[in-house]
Amino acid sequence: MAAASTPKMPTLVAVTFLLLAVACRASPYYPLQMGYYHDKCPQAEAVIKGVVEKAIYQNPGKGAAVIRMLFHDCFVEGCDASVLLDPTPFSPTPEKLSAPNNPSLRGFELIDAIKYAVEAACPGIVSCADIIAFAARDASYFLSSGKVYFDMPAGRRDGTFSNASEPLKFLVPPTSNLSDLVSSFVVKGLTVEDLVVLSGAHTVGRSHCSSFVSDRLQSPSDINGGFAWFLRSRCPANPTASDDPTVMQDVVTPNKLDDQYYKNVMSHTVLFTSDAALLTSQETAKMVEDNANIPGWWEDRFKKAMVKMASIDVKTGHQGEIRKNCRAINHY
């Protein structure tokens, strides 16, 4: 009788494919989807849009706030609404208390109002992370008078971790040079063009004087003399926590999401060193010029960059949770 053959050892390639297959089954990837709530909560996007429209009609600054909120959320822990979490005894220092967010980040009450309306329509279905993304999209639409319109995929889930040390790692200050800005975007999978295009959101909203006085008005800079005089008339020489007024980031079209920001960069009438930095390389300076001078050029790229940013390190599938209250994790 023939001897039984010895089983062959699996090859390295076979083992690799086996491990990949097991990993894929254990941690399936759930991509974001257009129309994600079509069956689960068909009225969700309409409800969110209605609340955002009313808020912007009352105060356009609320629209600028939620656009900025999307950036501050997605760059830290991914787009998971971790920026919304309030302090608790178990987590006393969440992201919203970090220097890049406190006291300048606003829009939390608007997200609360949206969550309340959505929960009334379909409780426990729509994540706070998706609410931020939809609100930023709708704010872009209303502030641009319909010129910036785009679909936003959904399916994000809410994170359960938030720490004030994290924003300091990923949100570079407005005093940053171009190299630091580019690095902060590249590490999140965004390009130099994404940096230039998303900087255009500075065409709406307000900024505290403390964000720019020291390096733009008290140090040598390229800022336009007349604009510097205007800012000095609005800002104290040494802003403090009790005396830190705000000024419009774009004094030409302050409540309109448009390409005026790039014209301001070219005329040296922007607030931040990080804005002026876009002129410090030929590549980015050309992008600024194109965004300023070619009709529709910036709007088209801004739509795509917003969707791309809103997809950074998202939690989907069985990751995270759907918070009942955007300011607190669920307690089971």
What is the predicted pLDDT for the residue at 30? 80
Q: How far apart are CA 276 and CA 219, in angstroms?
A: 14
Tell me the two tokens of residue 14.
Answer: 């076979």
End-to-end CA distance of the chain: 64
Asked if 49 and 164 sit in the same domain, the reply is yes
Give the model's confidence band at 331: pLDDT under 50 very low, under 70 low, under 90 confident, else very high.
confident
Give long-range contacts, CB 8 A cutoff, 24+ apart: 60-63.
60/143, 60/204, 60/255, 61/106, 61/204, 61/205, 61/206, 61/255, 62/106, 62/107, 62/110, 62/139, 63/139, 63/140, 63/142, 63/143, 63/204, 63/257
Q: Mean pLDDT, the chain, as a whole number?
A: 92
Asked if 80 and 128 sit in the same domain, the reply is yes
318: annotated active-site residue: no
> Is residue 26 a part of any domain in this protein?
no
Asked if 209 and 93 sit in the same domain, the reply is no
Asked if 153 and 187 sit in the same domain, the reply is no
Residue located via tokens 């501050």: 72
Asked if 152 and 201 sit in the same domain, the reply is no
Q: Average pLDDT in the 314-332 region?
A: 95
- Give the CATH number, domain containing residue 285: 1.10.420.10
pLDDT digits 0-9 by tens, 98-155: 999 999 999 999 999 999 999 999 999 999 999 999 999 999 999 999 999 999 999 9
What is the predicted pLDDT for the residue at 313? 97
What is the predicted pLDDT for the residue at 21? 41
Asked if 183 and 304 sit in the same domain, the reply is yes
**CA distance readout (Å), 328 to 112, 130, 227:** 11, 16, 43
Closest CA to 114 of 328, 301, 326, 263: 326
pLDDT digits 0-9 by tens, 194-204: 999 999 999 99
Q: Which amino acid would we find at residue 162?
A: S
Domain end, chosen from 170, 190, 212, is at 170
What is the predicted pLDDT for the residue at 29? 60
Domain end, chosen from 170, 199, 218, is at 170
What is the predicted pLDDT for the residue at 325? 98
Asked if 304 and 269 sit in the same domain, the reply is yes
Q: Average pLDDT in the 76-101 region?
A: 97
Local structure of residue 246 (DSSP, 8 states): E
Set 38, 72, 202, 208: catalytic member: 72
> Is residue 190 a part of any domain in this protein?
yes
Q: In percent, how much of the chain has pLDDT > 70?
A: 91
What is the predicted pLDDT for the residue at 2? 43
Q: How far apart are CA 99 and CA 76, in angstroms?
A: 13
Asked if 150 and 68 sit in the same domain, the reply is yes
Question: Does residue 27 register a pLDDT over 60?
Answer: no
- Give the CATH number, domain containing residue 129: 1.10.520.10
> Is residue 33 a part of any domain in this protein?
no
What is the predicted pLDDT for the residue at 180? 98
Residue-number span of the structural domain to which 89 is assigned: 44-170
SS3 154: strand
Asked if 117 and 207 sit in the same domain, the reply is no
More confident residue, 212 or 2: 212
Asked if 130 and 59 sit in the same domain, the reply is yes
pLDDT digits 0-9 by tens, 287-302: 999 999 999 999 999 9
Question: Does residue 13 register a pLDDT over 70?
Answer: no
Q: In percent, how much of the chain has pLDDT > 90?
A: 90
**Domains identified in the chain, total number:** 2
pLDDT digits 0-9 by tens, 39-81: 999 999 999 999 999 999 999 999 999 999 999 999 999 999 9
Domain end, chosen from 170, 200, 232, is at 170
What is the predicted pLDDT for the residue at 200? 98
